[in-house]
A and B are shown apart, each in its own frame.
Chain A
Amino acid sequence: MISRRTALIGVGALTLSGCERVTRSPTVRKILTFGEKATLTSQRLVTNRNALAPEFTRADLSPRFRVNGNAMPASPEYARHVATGFADWALEVGGLVQNPLRLTLAQLKAAPQRTQITRQDCVEGWSAIGEWTGVPLSLLLRHAQISDKAQFIVFHCADDFSGIPYYESIDMIDALHPQTILAHTMNRQPLPIGHGAPIRLRVERALGYKQAKFVMRIEAVASLTGIHGGKGGYWEDHSGYQWFAGI
């Protein structure tokens, strides 16, 4: 005799494996990407591409800004930079540019700055408000004489997950947006290691996983194909997160 409990578990297991067959089916996954495409297309269509993300006041700051992702890159090279206070660290700007750059932290801090109090929304659902100061990315890209062929800006980072390096990418709409900055200061203090020292990307109309920390190298590219997994970011390549992180 099959007990009711066994039967129930059996039926449950069959149902669940049936559900799993649906959610793991490549065809189903392909169909579901229409939602993502529709979101990107329609958001680009109905929104002003230069619209600024809401900015807040110091009274709105999160009392404690949660550290997320990697709290400390594991590479010995990064440890050396920490030991020397990023004194011989330099940001590389390359790819489809006429004038590749190598900028020290001091040079980045001497450039024109922008300060903004903005909200970071994690894909998980939580939000935190922080004050960021940094160099507008558009400034660096113009200085580097970015080519017209560039479609995306890729951020190569010092951190990794199980040896796989973190990276992210944004399109030119976000790259040239006035609020898109490379922040070296957070809440009026040097950017803490947990938040991406020496510099992190702030791209204020996108979710947290786009806010690349520990940025070492910036690359202007015509296509994301061939860069790591080709989907434009670590989470996009390895966990199927949407490249468009505007929702």
Chain B
Amino acid sequence: MDAATTPVTLQNRSDSTPDLVYRTRLPVRIWHWINAISIFALLMSGATIFNAHPRLYWGKYGANYDDPWLIIGKRGQEGFLQLGSLEIPTTGLLGYTPWSSKAIPPLLTIPNYYSLAEGRQWHFFFAWILIIALITFVIYSIFSRHLKNDLALSSEERRTTRLWQDIKDHARFRFPTGAAARNYNALQKIAYLSVIFLLIPLVILTGLTMSPNLNAAFPVLLDIFGGRQSARSIHFLCAAALCSFILIHLLMVVLAGPINEMRSILTGWYRLPQRGKDLL
């Protein structure tokens, strides 16, 4: 990447002094936070909606008398998660806790009491924000070259041996230092690209496929996902994938230096980590 397209200001310092670089531009930072808030609100209000019928099916239909592939339920004071024929005890976490007998406990839902109607109001409000923010962000990313310069993988990064090395480095918590840390690393780019161009679009499309009015207007949606209940299942799998992304994303923030990372996503300024020094 050439300096002309990277807004790096404090260049050409010696390697011994930590460089502060301007890494994250304002529109990207604003989108990140709007997106973070909407995704949390959507996951938590989605949990309320899921609690109304905590069973997932494949196909065109699915209700109480049909075969679900996933159930979160309770038997007396014991919670369980049933996946096909596998049953996992989840007492205290899912299905049953001393404070709740809902599939997903109120600590993790919006609102923090059971109200399907209110959960839906929150869900659809933030769904609009997510969609508008995503479209705006993608348009911005294309025209500002954020996509090309910061997110797209270079031909070097796309090599299998290089990717394998990145995976091994990540597994050993060895992160790029110095000038190499100026840009997102390959795995980071893959994670961000998957969320922006795969996971969020998929969660939006499967969400729309659950709308009976949109099914009438765009029946192709049902063909793509194999029926409404399949779309609902994929919607929840996407939500689970987003949860894992968030967990790993936050873990990486902590491991890579939470203060530096938070400054970078709040102010844009990022201190390039140095080799051999403690991460902070």
Contacts from A to B (Cβ < 8 Å) = 12, 16, 19-20, 23-24, 29, 31-36, 38-39, 43, 46-48, 51-54, 56, 60, 62-66, 119, 121-129, 204-207, 235, 239-242, 246-247
Q: Give 28 pairs: A residue, B residue, CB < 8 Å, sorted on A.
A: A16-B106, A19-B112, A20-B112, A23-B118, A23-B122, A36-B121, A36-B124, A47-B213, A47-B214, A47-B218, A51-B216, A62-B61, A121-B228, A123-B120, A124-B116, A126-B63, A127-B61, A127-B228, A204-B216, A205-B215, A206-B213, A207-B212, A235-B117, A239-B117, A240-B121, A241-B117, A242-B117, A242-B120
Pair A119/B211 contact, Cβ less than 8 Å:
no
Min CB–CB distance A76 → chain B (angstroms): 31
Bound: A172/B269 CA distance, A: 56
Assess the A122–B53 pair: CB atoms within 8 A: yes
Instruction: Give 7 nearest A-B pairs by CB, closest first.
Output: A246-B213, A35-B125, A47-B217, A23-B111, A247-B211, A126-B63, A124-B52
Is the CB of B210 closer than 8 A to any CB of chain A? yes
Contact B222–A54 (Cβ < 8 Å): yes
Query: Which B residues are CB-close (under 8 A) to A19?
Result: 110-112
Counting CB contacts under 8 A, is B197 at the interface? no
Assess the B213–A205 pair: CB atoms within 8 A: yes
**CB of B60 closer than 8 Å to a CB of A:** yes
The count of residues in chain B whose C-beta lies closer than 8 Å to any C-beta of chain A is 46
B242 at the interface (CB under 8 A from A): no
Is the C-beta of B128 less than 8 angstroms from some C-beta in chain A?
yes
Task: Tell me whether B69 is interfacial, beta carbon within 8 Å.
Answer: no
Minimum distance in angstroms from A102 CB to a CB of chain B:
32
In the complex, B164 has a CB within 8 A of chain A: no
Say if the beta carbon of B50 comes within 8 Å of chain A.
yes
Q: Is the interface of B mostly helix, strand, loop or mixed?
A: helix
> Is B232 interfacial (CB-CB < 8 Å)?
yes
Instruction: Knowing A43-B214, A124-B116, A246-B212 are in contact, say whether A60-B60 is a contact too (CB < 8 A).
Output: yes
Given A39, A66, A240, which contacts B124 in the complex, CB threshold below 8 Å?
Answer: A39
**Which residues 97-135 of B sit at the A interface, judged by CB distance below 8 A?**
106-107, 110-113, 115-118, 120-122, 124-128
In the assembled complex, how far is the CB of residue B268 from the closest CB belonging to chain A, in whole angstroms? 30
Contact A126 B124 (CB under 8 A): no
Q: Decide if B226 is an interface residue (CB 8 Å cutoff).
A: no
Give the contacting residue for A32; candidates B113, B116, B125, B208; CB below 8 A: B125
Docked pose: A204 CA to B110 CA in angstroms:
29
- Chain A residues contacting B121 (CB-CB under 8 Å) are 29, 32-33, 35-36, 240, 242
Cα–Cα, bound, A124→B208 (Å): 16
- Chain B 246-267 interface mask (CB, 8 Å, partner A; 1/0): 0000000000000000000000
**What chain A residues lie within 8 Å of B143 (beta carbons)?**
none
Asked if B206 is at the interface of the complex by the 8 Å CB criterion, the answer is: no
Given contacts A47-B217, A121-B228, A125-B232, contact A56 B60 (CB under 8 A): yes
Q: Judging by beta carbons under 8 Å apart, are A54 and B61 in contact?
A: no
CB atoms of A53 and B216 under 8 A apart: yes
Q: CA–CA, A60 to B128, complex, Å?
A: 33
Nearest-neighbor residue (CB-CB) of B60 within chain A: A60
Asked whether any CB of chain A lies closer than 8 Å to the CB of B24, the reply is no
Contact B212 A35 (CB under 8 A): no
Answer yes or no: B161 CB below 8 A from chain A CBs: no
Contact partner of B212 (CB less than 8 A), chosen from A60, A204, A240, is A204
Q: Which residues of the partner chain B approach A65 to less than 8 Å between Cβ atoms?
A: 63
Most buried by A among B62, B121, B222: B121
Query: Smallest CB-CB separation from A20: which chain B residue?
Result: B112
Q: Say yes or no: A63 contacts B65, CB within 8 Å.
A: yes
How long is the Cα–Cα vector from A242 to B49 in the complex, in angstroms?
14
